Structure 1
Amino acid sequence: MASRGWTRWGLFALVGALPVLVLGWLAVVVVRFATSDYPLGGGPEKVPCAEALDFGGAKLPEGAYDTECTVQAWMDTDYEATFRMPRAGVRDWLTGTYPKGPAPGTELCDESADLCLNLDSDEHAPPAGVDANAVVVNVTYEGPDTARVSFSAFTV
């Protein structure tokens, strides 16, 4: 008889502890979502710039410096690259990299950009054979000789 009583109390303790465990788990999830920019994982990771630009069918231009490149992947993949280069070579680099793309211009640029190129439609898609579904390049002139390039190649 003694063992039967322990079985009932053990079952009662298990059923009583279950809501506490569920509430504890829920509290951890809420705190993680509230304190993390990437609660489901997939935060940005540094990668070689050759990898980042290659994903969108490009190569670093000659004279590029201050390079910083990342990839963020979860459901989609997003490569970001920023670098500086000689201002005089920006248009040639863009048209040489994407000869079948639209001409670089000022339409649909980021607010602070002076020049951009968008390959994100059926009419103007990234080159065949690259992994990216879209490429967006924004250029900001930082002076008479320097341009800061923000390159993004991603899947959708």
Structure 2
Amino acid sequence: MTETQTETQAQEPVEQTVPGGTRWGVFAAIMAVPTLVVAGLIALLVAWLFTDDSVDTGEQKVSCAEAFAYGGAKPPTGARDLGCVLEAAPDPRYEARFLLRSSEVSAWVAASYPDGPGLRHVACGGDHDVYACMNRGPVAGQSASVQLEVTYDGPKWSVVRFVAFTE
């Protein structure tokens, strides 16, 4: 008996298709890398926002009475926005900044340092905004030198920078 062609084909094993032969796994692996990078950047941003990144500048706030007393002066009456700091160094260096009416600056300097020097309006250093200044070395009974710089802050007010330090 001879086999017919149809019977031969029927006896050959039929190839089965395996399910899941797509490339979704490769696509998922490729997409996981940028997703992890973005998640890492977000985590770093959150960590940066919530960490204490304050830098110790060596300055601490002090009472202005202490700062002015070190330089042999009293805080001016009528001063606004008065703030005083002490720089941490081997020798103390006090700095005060405040607003004072321009018409009262010379009177405050004269009352604080009756033995001079007074404010001068020329040769006040390289800052062109400074219209008046004073440099005072240590005098009898004091160990501190004082520097004053006065700049305009509008038509009626001046910003005064008071620095008292040991040379």
TM-score of the two chains, using structure 2 as the length reference: 0.61
Give yes or no for the alignment of 1:144 onto 2:155: yes
CA distance in 1, matches of 2:97, 2:164: 12
Displacement, 1:130? 2.9
Structure-2 residue corresponding to 1:3? none
Same amino acid, percent of matched pairs: 42
Give yes or no for the alignment of 1:69 onto 2:84: yes
Structure-2 residue corresponding to 1:100? 115
Within the candidate set 114, 117, 127, 2:134 is matched to 117
Aligned residues of 1:98 and 1:127 also touching (Cα < 8 A): no
User: Residue by residue, what CA displacement relative to the aligned partner does 1:44-67 show, whole Å, maximum 9, x if unpaired?
Assistant: 100011111110001111100101
Q: CA RMSD in A?
A: 1.9
Aligned residues of 2:134 and 2:148 also touching (Cα < 8 A): yes
TM-score of the two chains, using structure 1 as the length reference: 0.65
Aligned residues of 1:57 and 1:127 also touching (Cα < 8 A): no
Displacement, 1:108? 3.9
Higher RCO (Cα < 8 Å, 6 or more apart): 1
Structure-2 residue corresponding to 1:10? none
Unaligned runs of 5+ residues in structure 2 are 1-54
Unaligned runs of 5+ residues in structure 1 are 1-35, 120-124
| Structure 1: 4+ residue segments shifted above 4 A | none
Structure-1 residue corresponding to 2:165? 154
Displacement, 1:151? 0.2
CA distance in 1, matches of 2:83, 2:131: 20
